Structure 1
Amino acid sequence: MNGTTEEMCRIYLRVIEHLYYKVDKRSLHFDDQVNVDVSTTVVQTSYSTDCYGVVMDSLCRSIYSKDTTDRIKKRALLCNVYHLALHGYWYEARDLIMMSHLQESIQHFDVPTQVLYNRAIVQLGLCAFRKGLIIDAHNSLQAIQSSGKAKQLLAQGLMSKKFSDRTPEQEKQRQIPLHMHLNLELLECVYLTCAMLLEIPNMASQVFDSRKHMISKSFRYLLRVSEQSPLVGPPESMREHVVAAATAMKTGDWQACRDYMLDVKVWKLFLDSERIKKMLTRKIQEESLRTYIFTYSSVYDSLSLSTLCEMFELPPDIISRILNKMMITEELQASWDESRQSVTLHHTEPTRLQSLALQLADKVGSLLENNERIMDSRYGGYWFKKEWQG
C-alpha cells in the first residue's frame, strides 16, 4: 500500500478500533500461568495463531514503532489493553498500561480518548475479578463506580443539561455504538461483590475503633440504608442480594452468603460463569472465616483446626494459611498448639467498656481541638492566655 507513515498509522488504528472489543473464544485465557517479557515495551502474549490477537499485536507494534503523533499511539495502546483484558491476560494488560504512565496525563487528552481509557480500566477490573484478584478488581472499578456517573464516563448515556455545555446533538455524537456497550449492572455487581469481600472483614476487625479505615463508602451507604429500613423482605434486585449476602457474612454464615450471591443472574454474562461461581464461593468461604474469627474470637480460648474445616468446608492447608497470615499481620493475637492442632487465642484486645471509653476520649479530644480552632480564628489565637496573664 502506498501512503505516508501517518496515513498508514491512521489506517492501522481504524482496523484496531473495529477489532479490540470483539471476543475470540479461541484466544480466551483462563489459566493463571502467563508469559510476560518486561524487558521490552511491548508485552508478549500467548495468543493462538488464528485469532484477532495476532492482527492486534502486529498492528499495535507497527503503530508503536512508526507513529509520530501521541494520540494515535495512546489510543492503540488502550485498545490493546482492553483486548488483552477481555481475553483474560490481566498481567500483560496491567504491565502495559503501567509502563505507559498514561494515568498521569489522560486528563489532557480529548474526550473520546478519555472514554476509551475508562473502558480499558473497567475491562481490566473485570479481568482481575475473573482471576480472583479482588483487591485489584476493586481498585480498578472504584473510581468509575463511586462517582455515580458510570453511564456518562463510559459514553453510554447522556450527561445532564446542568453539567454539560454541549447541545443534545453533540452529546449524542460522542456516545459509543450500542453493540460496544458494557453491561452496567454487571459492573456494579462486580464492584459491590469486591467491596463486600473486603469491607465486611474490615468492619468486623475494627468494630470498636472510631478511626477505622473505610474501603467503600457506597457499599457502607447501602448497608446503612438496609439497617435503617423498618421492613426488610426477601431480596429481589441485585443490590438487595448483595446486602443480604453481606448481612449473612457478618455472622460467618457462608452458606447463606453464597446462596444469595449465586442467585444473582448477571453472572451468566461471563463466558466462564461456572468457574466464576466456584471462585466466588471459595472467596466467600475464606472471608467468612476471617469475619467469624474477628467477631467471635473474644469468646474463645482456642479454636480447633478440624472444627474450622468442618464449619467452612475448607481444606486444612487453606485455613492454616489464612490464620498464619492474620497472625503475621497482627490482625489476630494467637499461636499454634501443634500437639492439639488448634490455635490458642491471646486476649490482648480491650474489653467493650474499655473500647467505648477510648472512643469517647477520642471524640472529646476532637471536640476540644475544634473549639480551640474556632476561638483562634475568631479572636486571633491564644486569646485565653492573655486573661490568665492579666
Structure 2
Amino acid sequence: MPVKMYSHAELCQYEILDLFVTQYISRSRNINIDFAILRKSDFKGSSKVALIRVELIYYKPQEVYDAMRTLAEPENSRTLMDGLVSLIYKYGDERIQARAMLCDIYHHALHHEFTKACDLLLMSHLQENVHHMDLGLCAFRAGLISEAHECLSELYPGGRVRELLAQGVARSCYHEKTPEQELLERSRLMPYHMHINLELLESVYLISAMVLEVPNMAANIHDTKRKIISKNFHRLLEISDKRTFNGPPENVRDHVMAVTRLLINGDFLKAFDNIASLDDKIKEEALRTYLITFSSSYESLSMDQLAKNFDLSLPRIHRIVTKSVMNGELHAGWDQPSGCIVFRNVEHSRVQALAFELTNKYLSLQRVMKELHKQGQAMIGWITIPLLQVACIKTCPILKGFRSFMRNVVNSDKITPMKTKMCGAKEVVINR
C-alpha cells in the first residue's frame, strides 16, 4: 500500500522530539527537503501539508525568509502565505482552518499590518488567546499606544506571561505536579527559535502604560475617584515610591519607573537620558548576542566595524568583548596592533555533545540517589549497574564514584533490607 505524502509529512512534523536535544536542530534543517513535493490531486491532504508549511513560515520576518529560501520559493513570504492559507480555507477542516487563521494573524502583525490583523482576529471569533501579544507589538511599532496597551494589558496582571506564551512551565510551591502533568506541559512549550523576548514585551507594556497614565495622573491629581488606566503600572509605581532610596536603574522596570517620576516633575530632558541609557543597554546586549551567536562564522572581526554597526563607542565595545571573554561566553582574544577580535573555533562535535549530555544525566541521577538515601528510601534496580557497563563509562571518574556510592548503599548494615519489584522484573533485596 503506498504511503500518503501528507501522512509522512505529519509524522515528520509532529513526531515527539525533545526541544532541548540535538535531534530537534537536525530535524529543523530538513524543512525544505520534507515539503519539496505536494500532491495536488488530494486536496484534503494538500491542506494538511499546507498547514504544516504555514506553521513553519508565519513567525519569520521577511529578512529571515530571504536568508533561508531557495530559488524555487516565492520572493515574498506574504505571497506564499496567501497561497497556502487560501488552500487551507477552501479544503481544510474546521480545526485546521482555525490554526491557519491564527498563524495568518501573527504573520500580518509581524509585517506591520495592524488593521488587517485585527480584522482577521474579529472574523475568526478566537479573541480569547495569547495572540493579543503580537498585535500589541505591531500597534506599538505603528505608534498606536492605546491599542498596544489594550492588547498587552491582559497578559501582565496575573504574572504568568511566560506560561501564557508557552515559553516556560508553571512552578508552584503549594502543590506538586505528577510526572505525567509535567510531561504534558513540557510538550506544549514553543521551541527556542519561536520565543518572544519577555523583556521587550515588558518594556512595550510599561512604556505604553506610562504614556497613557502620566497625563491621566496629572489631569486628575485631586480626584480620588479618577479612572485608573493600568492598575499594574500604578502598583509598580507605588512600590517604587515607597522605597527609602532609589538607586540607578538596573532593568527595564526600573528605567520606566525612573522616567515616570521625571515626567511627573516635568523634567523631560533627564527622562530622555534614561530612555537613551535603555537604548544603549539594548545595543550592548545585541552586540554580545551577535558575537556569541556568530563567532563560529568569523576568523576575525574589526572593532571599527562593530562600532559602526551597533553605534557604540570603541571603549564600550572593548569592555563588552573583554567581559564576555573573561566570563567564558566568547572564545576569542584581542589583536592589539590591528584592533581586531580573533576567534578561536571550539565548536563541539556531535560525539562530544552526546558525551556531555550523558555526563549531565548521570550527575542528575547521582543527586537524586543522594536525596533518596538521605530520606531513607534509596532504591537500586537490578539493571542499573549493567547499564553503566554497557554504556562504556566504567573509566569515567564521576561515574566510578557514583557506582561506589551505590555499593555502599547496598552494603549498609544500619537499616533493614526491603524487597521491591521494578517493572515486572524479579524481586531484588536492597537496603533502605
**TM-score for both structures, normalised by structure 2:** 0.52
Distance (Å, rounded) in 1 between the aligned partners of 2:44 and 2:187: 25
The equivalent of 1:344 in structure 2 is none
**Number of aligned positions between the proteins:** 237
Task: State yes or no: 1:135 paired with 2:160.
Answer: no
- The C-alpha deviation readout for 1:29-57, integer Å capped at 9, x for no partner, is xxxxxxxxxxxxxxxxxxxx612111111
Distance (Å, rounded) in 1 between the aligned partners of 2:176 and 2:136: 27
Report how far residue 74 of structure 1 moved. 1.0
Task: State yes or no: 1:229 paired with 2:243.
Answer: yes
- Structure with the larger RCO, 1 or 2 (CA within 8 Å, 6+ apart): 1
The equivalent of 1:24 in structure 2 is 62
- The C-alpha deviation readout for 1:150-205, integer Å capped at 9, x for no partner, is 10001000012549675222221110101100000100010000000001111111
The equivalent of 2:110 in structure 1 is 86
Report how far residue 121 of structure 1 moved. 1.8
- Say which of 203, 220, 223 aligns to 2:217: 203
The equivalent of 1:62 in structure 2 is 87
Q: Aligned in 2, Cα 1:154/1:26: closer, same or farther, shift over 3 Å? A: closer
- The C-alpha deviation readout for 1:236-278, integer Å capped at 9, x for no partner, is 21111100000011022222222212321475599xxxxxxxx
Which amino acid is 1:247 matched to? R
1:245-284 equivalences in 2 (<5 Å): 245-265=259-279
Report how far residue 83 of structure 1 moved. 0.8
Q: Aligned in 2, Cα 1:26/1:167: closer, same or farther, shift over 3 Å? A: closer
1:347-358 equivalences in 2 (<5 Å): none
Distance (Å, rounded) in 1 between the aligned partners of 2:232 and 2:95: 34
Q: Aligned in 2, Cα 1:84/1:267: closer, same or farther, shift over 3 Å? A: farther
The equivalent of 1:122 in structure 2 is 133
Which amino acid is 1:22 matched to? K
The equivalent of 1:154 in structure 2 is 165
SS in 2 for 1:63: helix
> Tell me, which stretches of 5 or more residues in structure 1 are unaligned?
29-48, 107-116, 271-390
The equivalent of 1:5 in structure 2 is 43
SS in 2 for 1:264: helix
Report how far residue 233 of structure 1 moved. 1.4
Distance (Å, rounded) in 1 between the aligned partners of 2:260 and 2:139: 21
Task: State yes or no: 1:145 paired with 2:165.
Answer: no
Distance (Å, rounded) in 1 between the aligned partners of 2:237 and 2:152: 19
Report how far residue 100 of structure 1 moved. 2.1
Distance (Å, rounded) in 2 between the aligned partners of 1:160 and 1:26: 34
Report how far residue 101 of structure 1 moved. 2.2
The equivalent of 2:416 in structure 1 is none
Which amino acid is 2:89 matched to? Y
Q: Aligned in 2, Cα 1:164/1:71: closer, same or farther, shift over 3 Å? A: farther
Which amino acid is 1:123 matched to? D
Q: Aligned in 2, Cα 1:187/1:230: closer, same or farther, shift over 3 Å? A: same
**TM-score for both structures, normalised by structure 1:** 0.57
Distance (Å, rounded) in 1 between the aligned partners of 2:117 and 2:111: 10
SS in 1 for 2:153: helix
1:179-198 equivalences in 2 (<5 Å): 179-198=193-212
Which amino acid is 1:159 matched to? A
Fraction of identical pairs, as percent:
39
Q: Aligned in 2, Cα 1:139/1:27: closer, same or farther, shift over 3 Å? A: farther
SS in 2 for 1:102: coil
Distance (Å, rounded) in 2 between the aligned partners of 1:81 and 1:197: 27
SS in 2 for 1:145: coil
SS in 2 for 1:234: coil
Report how far residue 147 of structure 1 moved. 2.0
SS in 1 for 2:261: helix
> Tell me, which stretches of 5 or more residues in structure 2 are unaligned?
1-38, 67-73, 287-432
- The C-alpha deviation readout for 1:121-164, integer Å capped at 9, x for no partner, is 21111010011000000011110122210100010000125496
Report how far residue 2 of structure 1 moved. 5.3
The equivalent of 2:293 in structure 1 is none
SS in 2 for 1:207: coil
Distance (Å, rounded) in 1 between the aligned partners of 2:95 and 2:176: 26
Asked if 2 retains the 8 angstrom alpha-carbon contact of 1:26 and 1:51, the reply is no
Report how far residue 3 of structure 1 moved. 5.7
Q: Which piece of structure 1 moves more, 261-270 or 241-250? A: 261-270
Distance (Å, rounded) in 2 between the aligned partners of 1:167 and 1:192: 33
The equivalent of 2:20 in structure 1 is none
Which amino acid is 2:100 matched to? A
Distance (Å, rounded) in 1 between the aligned partners of 2:260 and 2:177: 37
SS in 2 for 1:211: coil
SS in 1 for 2:159: coil
SS in 2 for 1:146: coil
SS in 1 for 2:155: helix
Asked if 2 retains the 8 angstrom alpha-carbon contact of 1:63 and 1:76, the reply is yes
Which amino acid is 1:6 matched to? K
- The C-alpha deviation readout for 1:55-109, integer Å capped at 9, x for no partner, is 1111111111222x22111111110111111111111111111222221xx4xxx
Distance (Å, rounded) in 1 between the aligned partners of 2:169 and 2:146: 31
Task: State yes or no: 1:99 paired with 2:120.
Answer: no
